[in-house]
Structure 1
Amino acid sequence: MIIKSQSQIKDNENSLYLVSTPIGNLKDITLRAIEILKKSTYILCEDTRVSRILLNRYEIKSRLISNHKFNESKNLNKIIDLLKSGETISLISDAGTPSISDPGAILVNECVRNNIRIIPIPGPSAVAAAVSISGFSEKFIFYGFLPEKKQAIENVLNKISKFNETCVFFVSPKKVNKIIPELKKNFSGRKIVFCREISKIYEEFIRKNIDDLNILNMELKGELTIVISEKKNDKINSQELSESDMNIIRMMINKLTVKEITDIICQTKDISKKEIYNYCLKLKNEN
């Protein structure tokens, strides 16, 4: 990976900046995000009252425009005209990265249609934070917020349960106990982490086996990020050692232990550990 020095990175004027903001702790903001927000003529935000807390903390005086799911379509032409006239505009959400389970996608697509440059300013993400502490596979699918209606929720959970990868989604605190029966029905045999108040004072990660889930008897505030472990494939469906796998094992057999070799192969392949062990044992006997 080639990392450019700061002097080689130039933030152009007359662009739409998608600026990630803290998901809880106000210190979790990048220096570049502060710089971009300060130089923006306008900042589009979901709730001006929420955003003002962050902006006041870092003495950001840019003008705010309320831009949420109920008015983002109405604002569209005005914002595009401002960008075309040369104004620098940033888009933020109440927390995290804009346009991911938050308003922004409509504006981004309109900027694409009008050849207006869109620049992401990376930063905090509840999804990345939750997956990183889960201990589950780093290969994951992200759904976003679960739908509102009961039947729609059942359909979604049934659909994503068929993926082998780690599954991540958001759910409101009022809904979390209502989905437990569906979690047990669709994700039996897997593990789960309920992530609440990430990076805040009352941050908590509740780890359970899904089969052991019961109603959560606690006062939950704010959306929860839920992470469900990857599906353990049946041994019947496991792959067999390929010729390339065997070549790799032959190169490692005199340098690493059988356990180390097994762990390396299993990171990328769904192969029975017993099959890898037996092949390693065969090579050692030949030597």
Structure 2
Amino acid sequence: MKIQKSFGEQAGKGTLYLVGTPIGNLEDMTFRAIRTLKEVDLIAAEDTRQTRKLLTHFDIGTRLVSYHEHNKTASGAELLRLLETGLHVALVSDAGLPAVSDPGADLVREAIDRDIPVVPVPGANAALSALIISGLPTDRFTFAGFPPRERKELKDWLEAWIGSACGTLLVYESPHRLKKTLQAMLDVWGDRPIAMVRELTKRYEEAVRGTVSDCLEWIELHPPMGEYCLVIDLAANGGIEGVAKEMWWDGLSLADHVARYEQETGDRKEAIKRTAADRGMSRRDVYNAVMKR
């Protein structure tokens, strides 16, 4: 067991400060963050070029060094050595909170093992910002970083959430993988409530709220741009049960599939929407295929 008194003396050791930085809007930088970055002996940054712009804007002249995924072993060892000699170090990421989905978590663990105080200086966070504007449940949520890139690993990852009690799931996704990930979600989880949020705190901040199929249809007309945070309600309608391998409509043509729903609902537009969701297609593609017959 290790007990830390964050603001007491620590036998001559320095303190590792985890400093939150803006995720887009520079006005989200806190007074405490600016003061801390000015007072520490060293700032360790994921991308020194990006961080230098921030430091210049706030007139911060503290020495800047690099700490990222590819040099974390050597750089981390040196930072820990300096901390043990009594120097104070601030760790920052490109945007948001350090040690969340970045190598800062490794440095934190090592510092704790050496009884070096680790102190958070809170700031903006994309996942939580997306969650609170999503309109989806916030009483229970899980942050899962980036989904796997490869198709097989992604499918296995999605299936692992089936039956879980994680509530609302928060994940990050890049624009060039967004469509593939949404389609896989639809195939494995069905058409669940989702908010697709991008460019948080920036000029083109946007939240698309609806279902997974709605979002797939949206990006067909509006090509993805910027980094996305996906907020998915996994608890809606009793939670995820998975999509049955043999669907009731497997033997139907696309037109017959639409006709079955139209007979049930009396609404052709709704029938096309449901058919698109079942088959993981966009409504436009279903409409075109049926109307051009």
TM tier, smaller: 0.7 to 0.9
Are 2:44 and 1:40 aligned? Answer: no
| Secondary structure of 1:214 counterpart | helix
Matches within 5 A, 1:58-207: 58-138=58-138, 139-164=140-165, 165-207=167-209
Aligned length: 227
Query: Structure 1 residue 156: deviation in Å?
Result: 1.4
Query: Structure 1 residue 188: deviation in Å?
Result: 2.0
Query: Structure 1 residue 212: deviation in Å?
Result: 3.8
Q: Which runs of 5+ in 1 are unaligned?
A: 1-8, 236-287
| Secondary structure of 1:51 counterpart | helix
Q: Does the CA-based 8 Å contact 2:18-2:118 persist in structure 1? A: yes
Query: Structure 1 residue 153: deviation in Å?
Result: 1.4
In 2 relative to 1, CA 64–126 (structure 1 residues): closer, same or farther, beyond 3 Å? Answer: same
Q: Does the CA-based 8 Å contact 2:196-2:208 persist in structure 1? A: yes
Superimposed CA distance per residue, residues 213-236 of structure 1 (whole angstroms, 9 cap, x where no aligned partner): 43513343332100012423549x
Superimposed CA distance per residue, residues 109-140 of structure 1 (whole angstroms, 9 cap, x where no aligned partner): 11011110000111111111011011111111
- Which position in structure 1 is the counterpart of 2:230? 226
| Secondary structure of 2:229 counterpart | strand
| Secondary structure of 1:27 counterpart | helix
| Secondary structure of 1:144 counterpart | coil
The TM-score, its normalising length taken from structure 1, stands at 0.74
Distance in 2, matches of 1:96 and 1:157, equals 26
Question: Which letter does structure 2 place at the counterpart of 1:151?
Answer: K
Query: Sequence identity of aligned pairs in percent?
Result: 36
Q: Does the CA-based 8 Å contact 1:93-1:103 persist in structure 2? A: no
| Secondary structure of 1:169 counterpart | strand
- Which position in structure 1 is the counterpart of 2:251? none
Question: Which letter does structure 1 place at the counterpart of 2:225?
Answer: K
Distance in 1, matches of 2:147 and 2:8, equals 36
Superimposed CA distance per residue, residues 147-182 of structure 1 (whole angstroms, 9 cap, x where no aligned partner): 222211111122234334011101111100112221
Question: Which letter does structure 2 place at the counterpart of 1:150?
Answer: R
In 2 relative to 1, CA 16–44 (structure 1 residues): closer, same or farther, beyond 3 Å? Answer: same
Q: Does the CA-based 8 Å contact 1:190-1:231 persist in structure 2? A: no
In 2 relative to 1, CA 234–177 (structure 1 residues): closer, same or farther, beyond 3 Å? Answer: closer
Structural RMSD (CA) = 2.0
Distance in 1, matches of 2:17 and 2:238, equals 46
- Which position in structure 2 is the counterpart of 1:17? 17
In 2 relative to 1, CA 11–67 (structure 1 residues): closer, same or farther, beyond 3 Å? Answer: farther
Distance in 2, matches of 1:122 and 1:228, equals 25
Q: Does the CA-based 8 Å contact 1:44-1:65 persist in structure 2? A: yes
Q: Give the 4+ runs in structure 1 shifted more than 6 A.
A: none
Distance in 2, matches of 1:213 and 1:88, equals 46
Q: Does the CA-based 8 Å contact 2:17-2:121 persist in structure 1? A: yes
